[in-house]
Amino acid sequence: MARPRAFDTDVAVERATRLFAEQGFGATPLPLLTARLHIGSGSLYAAFGSKEGLYARALGHYCAELVQALTERMAGATDVRAAVRELLLALAAADVADPERGCLLVNAATERAAHAPTVERVRATMAAVESVLADALQRARDRGELRPEQQPVELARFLTTFVQGLHVMGNARADHAFLAAAVAGALRALD
């Protein structure tokens, strides 16, 4: 008879998500992973099958939370332009405040570009982000917040791409003034 798990797998996935975002998949050795999760390697393998299985769960968790948070932010926005501005400035501030935090989505896209399941997860998440932004921008256009000739899908693709670049520049230790100027430039696309 199998013993019951002595740890919370959701907590382990949360911790692994942070660690993989900070270090990436390749630079996270199993001993560091098990130490940070406060579990043994046998428990990791029993719960997740492998380091790869844990990474897939962590990436899935990260992507789901990212899309849910964006959906909630944009659904409640009465002024979409202001909401986009606040979102971009908050991302820039977070990158400056904690550059070690990293973005698991950017890490996955760059470090694991040859791993088909990871690429598909990243692609699906980017498509979901784009869709949430396009829907919000369409509502903004319908309410007259954007010019009629502005294309919500095109703007959403630009913003989705810009956000990933913002994270990369944060990882490169760009300062707040640099990131704020970049955000100001990006927001002109909504004018």
Which position has the token pair 């949430």? 132
Question: Tens digits of per-residue pLDDT, 103-141?
Answer: 899 999 999 999 999 999 999 999 999 999 999 999 999
Q: Can you tell me the distance from the alpha carbon of 46 to that of 156, in angstroms, rounded to the nearest whole number?
A: 41
**Under CATH, which number does the domain 59-190 receive?**
1.10.357.10
Sort residue 175 into left (φ over 0), alpha (ψ -120 to 50) or beta: beta
Domain locations in the chain as residue ranges: 59-190
Instruction: Provide the mean pLDDT of the chain.
Output: 92
**Contact assessment for residue 39 and residue 12, using Cβ atoms and an 8 Å cutoff:** yes
pTM: 0.89
Instruction: Indicate whether 171 pLDDT > 50.
Output: yes
| 3: confidence class by pLDDT, cuts 50, 70, 90 | low
pLDDT at res. 1: 47
Question: Tens digits of per-residue pLDDT, 47-76?
Answer: 999 999 999 999 999 999 999 999 999 998
